Structure 1
Amino acid sequence: MYDLKIINGTVLDFETNKGKNCSIGIKDGVITCIGDCPQSAKQELDAEGKTVSPGFIDIHMHEEVFDTSKANSSYDISNSMLLMGVTTCVAGNCGNNRQSLDDFIGFIEKYGAPVNYLSFIGHNFLRNSVGSTDRYKKSSPSQIEKMQKTVIDSVNKGAVGISFGLEYSPGVDMEEILTLCNAVEKKNLLLSAHYRKDAKYAIDSINELIDVAKLSGFPMEISHLGSCSAYGQMTEALNTIEKNINAGVDISADCYPYDAFSTFIGSAVFDDGCFQLWNKSYDSILLTEEPYRGVRCNEELFYRVRKEYPNMLVVAFVMNEEEVVEAIKSPFVMVASDGLFRDGQGHPRAAGSFPRVLGRFVRDNNYLSLIDAVKKMTIMPATRLGLSNKGSIKEGYDADIVIFDPKTIKDTATYENPKDKPLGIDYVIVNGRIAVENNNIINGTIGKYIRSKL
């Protein structure tokens, strides 16, 4: 007897690039049958007229800060991830962990999680932990040596690799980057990096990350390519990456489907000269938290908030949407959210990215086929992360599954209400158990921490 059986759905088959109407039998968290699946089941889901997809994998998001006194009520962003069909997330991006890896793993293993989690160990997190707090200066040799030890320990605990946030720490040089990478003998871990500078500096920044991959011997995931290059440089950026891929460099990229980025207003991103770089004015910045929630900046307000509320998340409407589309259509670019909330506020990408691609990009505008879009959310990140039992619907694979209506799936999160739930997602199944039913979370503790096996 199956624990769960899905009938009448259109199951996406990446080997044939087609959907097929069949059943799926699930037992002990694993897909055990695809086809007629004659056995009975403890629970049966009728997916007639719906698409049955592997669970989405978000290779780039930003985890919550856990409050160990509140158990699973501490989850915030991962609930939004789950509601938009994400079953596995990668934390610790852009060089930033929001708590130590020990605390992160320990909390998930004690309380469970809405989604499965992997994590990078972040360079800027390491810098802060060893006292290298001046973002405009290089770390000292002794500080780098301490960071190397933490990197080794983190990799031994299953970190997927090292992430860098070069725009947030402009003082970091290539020597510091490579010395940290060289701490790890294995060359099959993954690097990810938030570029050093965007817009007219985008190509130089991308070339720097390509050089890191070449010199370190590690594969490189270039983070949120849209916010790096969607200012008139996207075609050249994609050509630069493709040329190096064809030359044998192991690089790929991800992108979220919005023309605005979000980060902390006190960060180096907003140092003097940023508005001239983007050819935008102060009113391109939307404040997301009280006492200025929903307010657009002027010059006076921008500098006041930057000084008095440096940790406020803001949204910057500075990118070109047609270049974001160009990035997401590229064969080596995955869909990711770059989702980040603080006190429940932030950018709608954290609650809408994946349904937005399937609705706006696929159904409404035909930028991508359905199956190509889903591949960018499933098998591509699974392969990149070495998740050999995730990302496809196959017998023997983990039963992480999303059932959605391709005719109605849609993001509803807005910049005013960034956590509004998407429409058109009937079920999300995590590790063989139903986590979301009819757009509502019914079990938010099924997820696990995954120790990387790259």
Structure 2
Amino acid sequence: MSAAVASFDTVIADALVYDGDGGTGYRADVAVRDGRIAAIGAPRSLRGRIEQDAHGLALAPGFIDAHTHDDRAALDDPALFNKLSQGVTTVIAGNFGISLAPWRAGREPPAPLSLIGRREDFRFDAFADYLDAVDAAAPAVNVAALIGHSTLRVAEVADLDHPADAAEVARMRARVGEAMRAGALGLSSGLFYRPSRAAPNSEVIALASESAAHGGVYASHIRDEYDGVLAALDEAIDAGEAARAPVILSHHKCAGPANWGRTVQTLARIDERRRRHPVALDAYPYTAGSTVLDPDYVDGVIRILVSWSQPHPEQAGRDLAEIAADWNLDQKQAAQRLLPAGAVYFQMREDDVRRVLGFEATMIGSDGLPHDAHPHPRLWGAFPRVLGHYCRDQGLFDLPEAIRRMTALTADTFGLRRRGRIAPGLAADLVLFDPAAIADRATFAEPRQAATGIHAVWVAGVCALRDGAATGERRGRALRRQHERLLNVEHV
């Protein structure tokens, strides 16, 4: 049967196709069968049971969120509308050293593990059990995951204020091996945070080496994004080189007014190191970050917005300076009273953000915290903001390049070989949008606002979102690294 009369499950007709590799868009029909891209043909040449008129719209591979904390959200809120509504079809969970597995908690998790769950949520002895739970939850988007170094330390290290001893390292390494065999993408660390702050690089290298032995990556929230950022970058890349694991630098930034402008130095250092070893980075398109509230980083200079507070939930969404004034305290004292809490830190400068986003090895990651009472708007708006504000309105890069940074680059970096491109035989994870209209609507004041300009999203060949509304179809699953090898291409 010729392609011209073949019957497909779905045909997206006369779209402007951007294949993910950064090349110029071209008009074509894209046909889907059995969850895979089955054919690409001339405009209006293919026929399917369902036909989507895409004239005047861009069709891209489904976006891959390189940096998420959706570990528990995939189980408790499997609709994941904040991601689906952005055109995201795959999320990478388990970043900056915190993952929901492998640890069965016998106590309340310390910060920052508390950002993704309470004691009852950390219930997975094995990584395989977590991935099975994702499959059982049937999320709307695919979920791939890293193993968190801080989670490993909390599970196995008796005194978190000291380096792990040889027996503890051996037990953590065994857990990494189990997780990698189960399908994890690699190891992540968060040396900035207390559970891992005492870990020497030798400990990280031992665990990253186990990840590398199974084909995994090493992703690092480096030890210092402030004054010591250059040394911290070298430490992370040194660990990857020693372990023979590709390195991913999480949400790269130069934080705090004293370091604004230093991305000129850091990106030059990264570029130099990339010539000898694979190094990529992810970034979100905002001048503010979000994590736990730490009085040590309250300087009275930068704006800090409280995203949640356990003892004072009524203060979520307010500036710390306003809360401090109401309580007649200085900001450090107010922060102490709010703990445990989370915060949005306005700690970056726009020229640094632009410089990092424009770097050729930068993937897009939202780094959103889905359980915050008043989340950072990146949870709902990161990908449309790149495409609308930075690509279309600011001209930081052209549309094919913007799409590459959220599709093929990310898929290649994490080894997701079935995704990230539009080509026959690959997974039919697709997003149809209007390049002239796509825009983020989420703001720091009103963060839970879906983007505009996304017309449809397909996951595994089934339409999960149409005209801004979820269809109720949830075809996502846990992506296991060893199952992401390329399929044989089907010719039709």
Asked if Structure 1 and Structure 2 have the same fold, meaning a TM-score greater than 0.5 normalized by the shorter chain, the answer is yes
Using the TM superposition, name which of 104-113 and 360-369 deviates more: 104-113
Residue of structure 1 equivalent to 2:319:
296
Aligned match for 2:35, one of 17, 25, 29? 29
The DSSP-based 3-state class of the residue aligned with 2:55 is: coil
2-structure distance, mates of 1:41, 1:316: 49
Map of 1:232-311 to 2, 5 A cutoff? Answer: 232-246=261-275, 248-265=276-293, 270=294, 272=296, 274-275=297-298, 281=300, 284-289=303-308, 290-298=313-321, 300=329, 302-303=331-332, 306-307=335-336, 309-311=338-340
Structure 2, gaps ≥5 residues long? 1-6, 101-121, 485-492
1:166-221 C-alpha deviation (Å, 9 max, x unpaired): 10132111121122233456163101000101122111111111111121111110
Aligned partners of 2:457, 2:254: CA distance in 1, in Å?
29
1:263, distance to aligned residue in structure 2 (A): 0.2
> Structure 2 CA distance, aligned partners of 1:124 and 1:373?
32
| Residues 1:209 and 2:236 aligned together | yes
Q: What are the equivalent positions in structure 2 for 1:34-433 lying under 5 Å apart?
A: 34-36=40-42, 38-65=45-72, 74-75=77-78, 78-98=80-100, 99=122, 100=124, 101-132=127-158, 134=160, 136-168=161-193, 169-184=196-211, 186=213, 188-226=215-253, 231-246=260-275, 248-265=276-293, 270=294, 272=296, 274-275=297-298, 281=300, 284-289=303-308, 290-298=313-321, 300=329, 302-303=331-332, 306-307=335-336, 309-433=338-462
Q: Does the 8 Å contact 1:282/1:297 carry over to 2?
A: no
Partners of 1:24 and 1:35 within 8 A in 2: yes
Assess if the C-alpha contact under 8 Å between 2:37 and 2:423 holds in 1. Answer: yes
Give the letter for the 1:256 counterpart.
Y
Q: CA 1:59–1:16 in structure 2 vs 1: closer, same or farther (change >3 Å)? A: closer
Q: Note the C-alpha offset of 1:160.
A: 0.5
Q: Which moves more between the two structures, 111-120 or 123-132?
A: 123-132
CA contact (8 A) 1:283 1:296 kept: no
The one-letter amino acid paired with 2:52 is L
Change in 2 beyond 3 A, CA 1:184/1:51? closer
User: CA separation in 1, counterparts of 2:462 and 2:211?
Assistant: 36
The aligned amino acid for 1:19 is G
2: CA distance between counterparts of 1:44 and 1:72? 32
Is 1:253–1:333's contact at 8 Å kept on the other side of the alignment? Answer: yes
Structure 2 letter corresponding to 1:295: R
State the 1:271 CA deviation.
5.4
Give TM-score, length-normalised by structure 2.
Answer: 0.84
TM-align CA RMSD: 2.2
Aligned-partner Cα distance in 2 for 1:444–1:129 = 36
- How far residue 312 of structure 1 moved from its aligned partner, in angstroms, is 2.5
Superposed CA offset, 1:73-130 (max 9, x none): 6337x32111101101110000001344345312221121111111001000111112
Quickly say closer, same or farther: Cα 1:184–1:297, change in 2 above 3 A.
Answer: closer
Q: Distance in 2 between matches of 1:368 and 1:283?
A: 29
Going from structure 1 to structure 2, the CA distance change for 1:127 and 1:306 (only over 3 Å counts) comes to farther
User: Counterpart of 1:61 in 2: which secondary structure?
Assistant: coil
- Which string of whole-angstrom CA distances, capped at 9 and with x for unpartnered residues, describes residues 411-454 of structure 1? 01111222210000000111100011111111252101010138
SS in 1 for 2:15: strand
- Residue 75 of structure 1 aligns with an amino acid whose one-letter code is P
Counterpart secondary structure, 2:37: strand
Distance, in Å, in 1 between the alignment partners of 2:241 and 2:98 is: 23
Q: Is the CA contact (8 Å cut-off) linking 1:72 and 1:445 kept in structure 2?
A: no
Native 8 Å contact 1:283 1:297 kept in 2: no
Q: Is the 8 A contact 2:255 2:347 kept in 1?
A: no
Q: Is the 8 A contact 1:61 1:338 kept in 2?
A: yes
Classify 1:108/1:16 alpha carbon distance in 2 versus 1 (closer, same or farther; 3 Å): closer
Report if the CA contact (8 A) 2:320-2:334 is conserved.
no
Q: How far, CA to CA, are the matches of 1:16 and 1:292 in structure 2?
A: 44
Query: After TM superposition, which residue ranges in structure 1, 4 or more long, deviate above 6 angstroms?
Result: none
Judging changes above 3 Å, is the alpha-carbon distance between structure 1 residues 435 and 72 closer, same or farther for their aligned structure 2 residues? farther
Measure the CA separation in 1 of the matches of 2:233 and 2:363. Answer: 16
Q: Deviations over 1:127-186 (max 9, x none)?
A: 11125463x432233322221111111111011000000101321111211222334561
Q: Which letter maps to 2:65? A: D
Q: 1:122 is aligned with what amino acid?
A: G
Deviation per CA, 1:315-359, whole angstroms, max 9, x where unpaired?
Answer: 001101111111111111111111112255311111111000000
What corresponds to 1:3 in structure 2?
9
Q: Measure the CA separation in 1 of the matches of 2:206 and 2:20.
A: 40
Judge conservation of contact 2:22–2:404 (CA < 8 Å) in 1: no
Deviation of 1:50 after TM superposition, in Å, equals 0.7
Moved more, 181-190 or 387-396: 181-190
Distance in structure 1 (CA, Å) of the matches to 2:345 and 2:91: 24
> Quick one: distance in 2 between partners of 1:15 and 1:296?
42
Which digits, 9 at most, give the CA deviation of each residue in 1:378-413, with x for residues without a partner?
Answer: 000011111222111111111110000000100011
Q: Counterparts of 1:184 and 1:402 in 2: how far apart (Å)?
A: 32
> What's the TM-score, normalizing by structure 1?
0.91
Alignment-mate amino acid for residue 168 of structure 2? Q
The 1-side partners of 2:472 and 2:340 are apart by 32
Whether 2:475 is the aligned partner of 1:446: answer yes
Pair 1:240–1:129, CA change in 2 (3 A)? same
1:45 partner letter = Q
Give the % identical residues.
29
Q: Evaluate the alpha carbon distance shift between residue 446 and residue 14 of structure 1 in structure 2; reply closer, same or farther with a 3 A threshold.
A: closer
Q: In structure 2, what residue type is equivalent to 1:126?
A: L
| In 2, Cα distance between equivalents of 1:207 and 1:73 | 38
Counterpart of 1:296 in structure 2: which amino acid? D
Secondary structure, counterpart of 1:6 in structure 2: strand
Output the CA distance in 2 between the equivalents of 1:86 and 1:307: 37
Task: State the SS of the aligned residue for 1:345.
Answer: coil
Residue type of the alignment partner of 1:252: A
Change in CA separation of 1:421 and 1:191 when aligned onto 2, cut-off 3 Å? same
Q: CA deviation at 1:227?
A: 5.6
Q: Distance in 1 between matches of 2:88 and 2:81?
A: 9
